[in-house]
Chain A
Amino acid sequence: MTVQTPIYLDNHATTAVDPRVLAAMLPTFTKVYGNAASRNHSFGWEAEKLIETAREQIARLLGASAKEIVFTSGATESSNLAIKGAARFYQGKGKHLVTSRIEHKATLDSCRALEVEGFEVTYLTPDKDGLHSAEQVGAALRKDTILVSLMAANNEIGTLNPIEEIGRVTRERGVLFHCDAVQALGKIPFDVEKANVDLASVSGHKLYGPKGVGALYVRRKPRVRLTPIIDGGGHERGMRSGTLNVPGIVGLGAACEIAQRELPEEMQRLTALRDRLLAKLRAAVPEVHVNGSMAHRLPGNLNVSFAYVEGEAMLMSINREVACSSGSACTSASLEPSYVLRALGVGDDLAHSSIRFGLGRFNTEEEIDHVAALVAASVTRLRAMSPLWEMVQEGVDLKSVQWTPH
């Protein structure tokens, strides 16, 4: 059986635009190109109609109402707006926030920026499976806590937080709950009502929509208010000024509608493919360590460490045929491996050996089988030239060796 290479298995980084999404977008470039804010002619009205349809499509997938959707340039902006906007608006009530050490940089760096402004942030450490519990969140809340920001699904290890339980706690304690839903939305059921989420970040390019567009869900009942971070013409009820990105928004809307329709089946299909990949790898090579909970995990995510081989070297041997990413950071000046894996307590050696496979809508069983064989062969080849593997085979305890860190 022949498969076409390279095979794309980096769907947490970004996804291909679904051809159906592209088809929905195309008229907006050359036909419906009006400014949705133009009130005086049909070009503007047509564009506005498309925007409102998209708003409804997105709201439906979130379990929200269309009026609660604010369009942005992407989830980085959404999380900045949610966290900084809420903190600045509600700072009279308190100046304490709670988040996690394994959040996306958009969240972590927004929190860091607030610390400079005099806010205090508690960074929760996940358990060794990468999970936070509602009890842990509850215990971190203080009288002056105004916001909890925790993601639904982690972009590196795919772990799923118990957001419905966390939302119950934040609601009970009168604290706002921002949820980065980027990796979860359209992949697993995510409902802002069920989870009592007050703010949710969404990105177009992670669910087969275009890049450069996103949305922020902002609850209306009870009403959540934000201090805008971008000022201007007062678009999006004053929360986000700037001419609306009609093509992007139409694409995001179409992407949400497709994702909602296909979600139950796609979840099953991806879970099966992911489990197949892991089973084949384990059958072929020993010492394959899964990073993060297997039970609470995105269907398309597999993050594994192949002990005694370095992640980047692995990728180098397969990247002509497979695109995926590594938690090793040998290319960065710091030489520090993934902060997410470190927060889980994964040893630096295993963190350097980690590979993230992100399976998506367009991957097939043939592709997965091909990747499994290729990766297994690469691990075997690299272990044959690994001094660590050799030492372990000789019975040496690597922890007893006096290394010379550099």
Chain B
Amino acid sequence: MAYSDKVIEHYERPRNVGSFDKADPSVGTGLVGAPACGDVMKLQLRINDAGVIEDAKFKTFGCGSAIASSSLVTEWVKGKSIDDAGKIRNRDIAEELSLPPVKIHCSVLAEDAVKAAIFDYRLKKGLLSDDDVLASVGHVRPAGAEDVELSPEDIGVFTEEAKAEKLLDYHRAHGRVVDADLTRVTGARAAADQVRARYRLTLKEVA
């Protein structure tokens, strides 16, 4: 397959390859994709207190179009506010790089990486609403259940447990009142433990 000149240019001289310290409170890290799918992007943003992206770095496992897409967004996000950066659409990336239809997923991944990095930053800074935190937890399959058939209801129970825990951690990390969260976690764990007992899955230690 022939690559566009812009893809080749970014691939041969990728911008902003590298890493920031993940633990730095001013850095948001997004890690998206999966090795089994053939592409993984790690995008990091350094954001100042005014909410402006001062610097960006990436590392990508993937084809030339995936590398070019991530390289391009690191250029685009610099100097933008996180709100504006969050508005970058995969369509714009695909158009800029003239990606063919089979490579559109590379631009989607780049958009997702920006969003994931911004989310991580806002999580660290305590800038997310409770709904944002809860919405970030996808369906959960508990450890030890890889080979177990779970009903949608059971998965729902484990997902609620993970959501409750995530919210508790989030509020704790930012020194907020957590009484309501503790109640929620206790209830969710009890429900999850029942399912675990039914399937004899490893019991989680209650903190």
Contacts and interface: CB of A to CB of B under 8 A. Distances in A.
B64 interface: yes
A388 B37 CA distance: 13
Contact of B3 (A308, A316, A348, A401): A316
Nearest to B42: A387
Dominant secondary structure of chain B at its interface with chain A? mixed
B201 interface: no
B19 interface: yes
B105 interface: yes
B33 A406 contact: yes
B1 A335 contact: no
Interface stretch (A93-101, A195-203, A215-223, A326-334): A326-334
Interface in B139-193: none
Nearest to A329: B38
Interface in A311-338: 312-313, 316-317, 328, 330-333, 335, 337
B38 A403 contact: no
B109 interface: yes
Interface string A330-357: 1111010100000000011100100000
B59 A387 contact: yes
Contacts of B63: 310, 312-313, 316, 328, 330
A79 B11 CA distance: 41
A349 B35 contact: yes
B19 A390 contact: yes
A406 B105 contact: yes
Contacts of A348: 35-38
A387 B3 contact: no
A317 B60 CA distance: 15
A387 B37 contact: no
A406 B35 contact: no
Contacts of B61: 308-310, 386-389
Contacts of B85: none
A384 B17 contact: yes
Contact of B62 (A310, A347, A398): A310
Contacts of B38: 310, 328, 330, 335, 337, 348, 352
Q: Which of A316, A386, A388 has the most CB of B within 10 A?
A: A316
A406 B42 CA distance: 15
Contacts of A401: 31
Contacts of A405: 33-34, 36-37
Interface string B5-40: 000100110100101000000000001111111111
A3 interface: no
B67 interface: yes
A291 to B, nearest CB: 16
A202 to B, nearest CB: 31
7 contacts: A316-B3, A317-B12, A330-B62, A386-B60, A404-B34, A405-B37, A406-B109
